[in-house]
Structure 1
Amino acid sequence: MAIKTIHEARFVLFDDDTRLAFITSFDGPWDAYMDDFFNSGPTLALFDLIFRHTEGYAGLPDLATEKAFVLGAQERAAAYARNYPGTVKEILKAQRVNAAFQKVLDHPDAAAALQHPALQPLLDEAGD
């Protein structure tokens, strides 16, 4: 997805395929997410392709129209839970740091440096 703040998003057909739900979880305030969504290029094009087949959808010529369309159909979740902390940005950074650390662990010249006691907590975590 072109929007870097989305944790997940899905489309769900229900009521004998007569209704469509777009469900998403994202980081930050709603207005900032809508701004990112409107400027997302491919993601907005996909949204437009899917929703052009729904009642009341007349396209998204501008940000105000996008926000009005979403607000007109939006429902609040009764409950929400997630199993991991962190924003999408933090999670992606942790993955990059882990990948870099794994390269260090695999490098033959790193063995001596990795013997330093200060690195033991990192090595313990890397073993999991």
Structure 2
Amino acid sequence: MTAPDVSAPQPGLSVGPTSEFSLFFRVKPGESVSLRNALQALQDTPGYRPGDYGMAIQTIHEARFVLFDDDTRLAFITSFDGPWDAYMEDFFTSGPTLALFDLIFSHVEGYDGLPDVAAVRSFVLGAEQSAAAYARNYGGTVKEIRKAQRVNSAFQQVLDHPEAAEILEHPAMQPLLDEAGD
């Protein structure tokens, strides 16, 4: 039996198909205002704006940056679907996402920036801390949840269609109608 390599970065905790990923940094002295501006610019970027769902990395459930300790520390906390290695590959090969993070990381200690992706990878993985506990309040992958939303939207259209009344009276439709009433 081979012993695991404990020196290599390990994935965070998982619940079903979803894992957590958390990074913690120290903000460079005097950079907190610039960092807040960079975070606001990220928040205003298509795919990251509230209500936009077009993130470059399609397996992300949610992601957040948190400034704490009087804006001297920065946390990046996210959860994602699929294998940890695949998420890391997506993160480090997603040009637009990596460029946005480059702007943010430029305000934290120890970051040398792009174009050296290997150095960025080492920097990011060096800041990783697995959660001590992790829970989710819903099942399903991002792909499954988006499909369920599309199916629900289509079903709502059927419910609103005046010619659907006869079909909706069939006993086989009762479980869907019961759920639609919630």
Shared topology, TM-score over 0.5? yes
- 1:41-75 per-residue CA deviation (whole Å, 9 max, x = no partner) reads 43322211111111111224365334322211101
Paired-residue identity, %: 82
1:43 equivalenced with 2:97 (yes/no) = yes
In the alignment, what sits opposite 1:106?
Answer: 160
In the alignment, what sits opposite 2:175?
Answer: 121
Structure 2 residue runs of 5 or longer lacking an equivalent are 1-54
Partner AA of 2:125 in structure 1: L
- Distance between the aligned counterparts of 2:80 and 2:129, measured in 1? 15
- 2:115 aligned to which of 40, 46, 61: 61
- 2:149 aligned to which of 73, 95, 100: 95
How many residue pairs get aligned? The number is 128
Q: Which structure 2 residues correspond to residues 28-39 of structure 1 after superposition, within 5 A?
A: 28-39=82-93
Structure with the larger helix share:
1
In the TM superposition, residue 91 of structure 1 has moved relative to its aligned partner by 0.8
Partner AA of 2:124 in structure 1: V
1:3 equivalenced with 2:57 (yes/no) = yes
Report the secondary structure of 2:150's partner residue: helix
Report the secondary structure of 1:24's partner residue: strand
- 1:23 aligned to which of 65, 77, 87: 77
| Mapped contact 1:2–1:41 kept (Cα < 8 A) | no
- Mean CA deviation greater in 48-57 or 93-102: 48-57
| Mapped contact 2:92–2:121 kept (Cα < 8 A) | no
In the TM superposition, residue 119 of structure 1 has moved relative to its aligned partner by 1.0
Residues 63 and 114 (structure 1 numbering): CA distance in 2 closer, same or farther, change over 3 Å?
Answer: farther
- Distance between the aligned counterparts of 1:92 and 1:56, measured in 2? 38
Pick 1 or 2: higher relative contact order, CA cutoff 8 A, min separation 6.
Answer: 2
In the TM superposition, residue 122 of structure 1 has moved relative to its aligned partner by 0.6
In the TM superposition, residue 37 of structure 1 has moved relative to its aligned partner by 1.9
- Distance between the aligned counterparts of 1:65 and 1:93, measured in 2? 37
Q: State the superposition RMSD in angstroms.
A: 1.6
| Mapped contact 1:37–1:43 kept (Cα < 8 A) | yes
